[in-house]
Structure 1
Amino acid sequence: MSTENGQARGPALRILQLYPEQMNIYGDWGNTLTLQRRAQWAGFEVELLEHEIGGQMPSDVDLVVGGGGQDSGQVAIAPDLRRHGAQLREWAEADVPMLMICGSYQLFGHVFVPAAQDAGSEPLQGISILDVETRGSAQRLIGNLTVRTEQFGEVVGYENHSGLTSLGPDATALGRVAPFGEEDSTAGGNNGADGTEGAISRNVIGTYLHGALLPKNPVLADWLLGKAVLHRTGEDRYRAPEIDESITREARRVAMSRPR
């Protein structure tokens, strides 16, 4: 079987979206849609799967995506996420690529501790795929952000969070916040203090960047898809689709020109 452009279709990629009902804020569903479309344009069939609270986790997947949500959404999904933590950790150790945004990023760490002003709120235990922990704060980090990364170049997105995340010794930052503004401020990112943004471990990426993130960052989307194809086929068969990226470049330019 071949595509319209003559490329042979590969086996179907299984992409799993975690908790789309509770964790889909600031357009995060667009990440899954971007992965689906780019995979199809590159000649691969895609099977989209969803996991909601109380559902059965599929037996195997090639890529996992989680979005951001309000604190109430995190409270709702945390017990179910922990129930499936062993399966998710097994996939991560098998190099299944994963992209976790904001609230999902926090719960893929060790713990989210609510701010002192949120009296009565219990800490939310995560599933410890990423060596990070998050504490709530009265401070809120909001605005467009450019992150300089070694693997993906400049990554562009929009942050809006009051959780402040610190990296443990086994965590590697996704990148560092690019300076912006008249005073070359670098506030923002994981915690507004150390200049880091996100975390990456094996093929698992956590980040605070919404937007949706992947439409403005095709290099990152193609990296995730490349890892997914490698997982499905055992071969380095993914090639980025040859499409007009002019709108993507303009979206990145505008976002980078309006940092906060």
Structure 2
Amino acid sequence: MLDAIQAETESAGEALPIDVVSLYPKDMNIYGDSGNVLTIARRLALYGYAPCIHEINQGDPWPAHVDMILGGGGQDTGQKKIIDDLFARADDLRAFAADGVPMLMICGLYQLFGHYFETIDGTRLDGISIIGAHTVGRDVRMIGNLVEHSARFGDIIGYENHSGQTFLDPGVEPLGRVDHEGTGNNGEDHTEGARVNNVIGTYMHGSLLPKNPAISDFLIRSAVERRYGSFEPRQTKEWAAELKRIDAIAAKARTVAANRPR
């Protein structure tokens, strides 16, 4: 699928490349998180850019350019597998974040981008502190479709499934706010996710980006503007029509998910 998207873009003429890192897809990719990578690649192509997807697993070198980083969720075992490699990359990741590289970290990597994750058995996995937060494993599991409210992105719709409860540091901006007890970051303070500059962390699986075009476009615009100075889509009429069709499908999917009981 990714090869087909890249070939389609290249066949239409010279297109500016955007290098997207898929971080730890072997071990941190559950509940459809790879769909976020497919969504970014497809939307980049429809905007007239050339998506270059780099799957970075343990020990793999960074590509020459890093314009966006997408990471998924994983079980505690997956987090333990990648933790040493994550710390080896920590300085680079902090530098990317400080330089404005947009990132989306889902569930397990959201936790490890915080200060630490203490698992339910008492094991402490130190994080890399890009996001001011810490997570504690609990017996209660938060699971189901979820709608959260965000001033920046409007209503965000996804699927949470986690027993880790995340608490944000004072002053850290949540990605959104939830209405119901027992949902979101910790089931207590009505926050969900976090946003630090262009870095987003969230528990939203589902995949998140196919149902939330506003977040996809935020990541894309941030990546393009950082690399090229401005975001100037070079769309054909066919690509514009296809993007409109995809957004209409996303709107229907959002409606279904928002009305499906937890």
Of the three residues 215, 220, 231, the one matched with 1:220 is: 215
Structure 2 residue identity aligned to 1:157: G
Any gaps of 5 or more consecutive residues in structure 1? Answer: 180-184
Counterpart of 1:66 in structure 2 is 71
Structure 1, residues 216-253: CA drift from partner, whole Å, max 9, x if none? 00111011000010122122335895421222111100
Percent identity reads 48
**TM-score (ref. length: structure 2):** 0.89
Structure 1 residue identity aligned to 2:80: V
Pick which of 155-164 and 186-195 moved more: 186-195
Counterpart of 1:253 in structure 2 is 255
CA–CA distance in structure 2, aligned partners of residues 60 and 82 of structure 1: 20
**TM-score (ref. length: structure 1):** 0.90
CA–CA distance in structure 2, aligned partners of residues 188 and 9 of structure 1: 46
Structure 1 residue identity aligned to 2:216: A
Structure 1, residues 23-60: CA drift from partner, whole Å, max 9, x if none? 11000000000000000011000110011112222343
- How do residues 118-197 of structure 1 correspond to structure 2 at under 5 angstroms? 118=121, 121-177=122-178, 179=179, 185-197=180-192
Q: CA 1:10 to 1:233, structure 2 compared with 1: closer, same or farther past 3 Å?
A: farther
Structure 2 residue identity aligned to 1:134: T
Structure 1, residues 57-111: CA drift from partner, whole Å, max 9, x if none? 2343000000001110001011110110000000000000000000010000010
CA–CA distance in structure 1, aligned partners of residues 181 and 254 of structure 2: 19
Q: CA 1:239 to 1:173, structure 2 compared with 1: closer, same or farther past 3 Å?
A: farther
Q: CA 1:230 to 1:32, structure 2 compared with 1: closer, same or farther past 3 Å?
A: same
Counterpart of 1:182 in structure 2 is none
Counterpart of 1:206 in structure 2 is 201
Partners of 1:109 and 1:127 within 8 A in 2: yes
Partners of 1:226 and 1:238 within 8 A in 2: no
Of the three residues 220, 226, 229, the one matched with 2:224 is: 229
CA–CA distance in structure 2, aligned partners of residues 30 and 193 of structure 1: 30
Structure 2 residue identity aligned to 1:221: S
Structure 2 residue identity aligned to 1:132: A
Counterpart of 1:31 in structure 2 is 36
CA–CA distance in structure 1, aligned partners of residues 77 and 88 of structure 2: 18
Q: Shift in Å at residue 141 of structure 1?
A: 0.2
Pick which of 93-102 and 230-239 moved more: 230-239
CA–CA distance in structure 1, aligned partners of residues 131 and 227 of structure 2: 23
Question: RMSD in angstroms over aligned alpha carbons?
Answer: 1.8
Partners of 1:69 and 1:102 within 8 A in 2: yes
SS in 2 for 1:140: strand
CA–CA distance in structure 2, aligned partners of residues 109 and 61 of structure 1: 21
CA–CA distance in structure 2, aligned partners of residues 234 and 170 of structure 1: 30
- How do residues 69-88 of structure 1 correspond to structure 2 at under 5 angstroms? 69-88=74-93
Partners of 1:226 and 1:239 within 8 A in 2: no
CA–CA distance in structure 2, aligned partners of residues 153 and 98 of structure 1: 19
